Amino acid sequence: MIGVVGKGRMADVGGGISIRPFRPTDLGEVYEIERASFPSPWPKFYFRLLHLKNPDGFLVAEVDGRIVGYIVVDIEHRIELQNLKLKRYGHILNLAVHRDFRRRGVATALIRRAFKHLRDVGAEGVWLEVRESNLPARRLYSKLGFKVTGRITRYYLNEDAIVMERRL
C-alpha cells in the first residue's frame, strides 16, 4: 500500500520502491529513462516546464536511491454537458519505468500515488492516451480500472492513441 507523502518526503510502497516528488536535480536520471523508453522523447525543457506548472503532479520512483521511474499528471477541467458543471479531471501525461525495473510494481505504485494526489485536489476521474501497440501498458491500465473510451488517429505521428479513463 502506498503511504501518505508530504511535500519532499518519500513513502515506502513495499518491495523497496519509494515514491517522492520530483526535484530539479532528478532531471538527468528522468531524462535518461525518457530517452530509453520512447521513440520520440520529450525535450528536457518540457519536464522543467511541467514541474514549474504543477510540482505536486510530478513524481519519481526510487529503489535503493536510484530513480527507476516517473509519472507526470496534470489537472484539467471539463464541462459536464448534462448540467453545465465544471469538473476536475486528472490527465496522465507521461509515465515511464527503467527497463530493468519493469514488471516489478513500479508503474502501479506511481499510478496509485498519482490517484491519491488527484483525489486530494478534487479530481473526479483520470484519463490518458496510450499507443495502440503498447499492449503491456494497456493491460496494466485495464487492471487498474481504466476503460477504453476513444481513439485519436495518428496521435503519435505514425500510430493511433487509445484513450482510457477511470473514475477516482
Question: Is 71 in contact with 97 (CB distance < 8 Å)?
Answer: no
User: Domains in the chain and their CATH numbers?
Assistant: 11-124 (3.40.630.30)
Which pLDDT tens digit goes with each residue over 53-110?
Answer: 999 999 999 999 999 999 999 999 988 778 888 899 999 999 999 999 999 999 999 9
How far is the C-alpha of 24 from the C-alpha of 156, rounded, in Å? 27
In which band, very low, low, confident or very high, does the pLDDT at 157 lie, cut at 50, 70 and 90? confident
Q: What is the pLDDT of residue 15?
A: 64
Q: Report phi then psi at 71, rounded to 5.
A: -140, 145
pLDDT at 105: 94
Give the three cell numbers for residue 145.
480500472
Mean pLDDT lowest for which of 2-16, 25-39, 151-165?
Answer: 2-16
Task: Please state whether beta strands 85-97 and 125-131 pair in parallel, antiparallel, or not at all (unpaired).
Answer: parallel
14 band by pLDDT with thresholds 50, 70 and 90: low
Cα–Cα nearest to 94, from 30, 26, 154, 10: 30
Q: Check if the beta carbon of residue 121 is closer than 8 Å to that of residue 157.
A: no
Grid cell digits, residue 167? 473514475
**Would you say the pTM of this structure is higher than 0.95?**
no
Name the one residue in this structure whose C-alpha cell is 529503489.
63
Distance between CA atoms of residues 125 and 88, nearest Å = 7
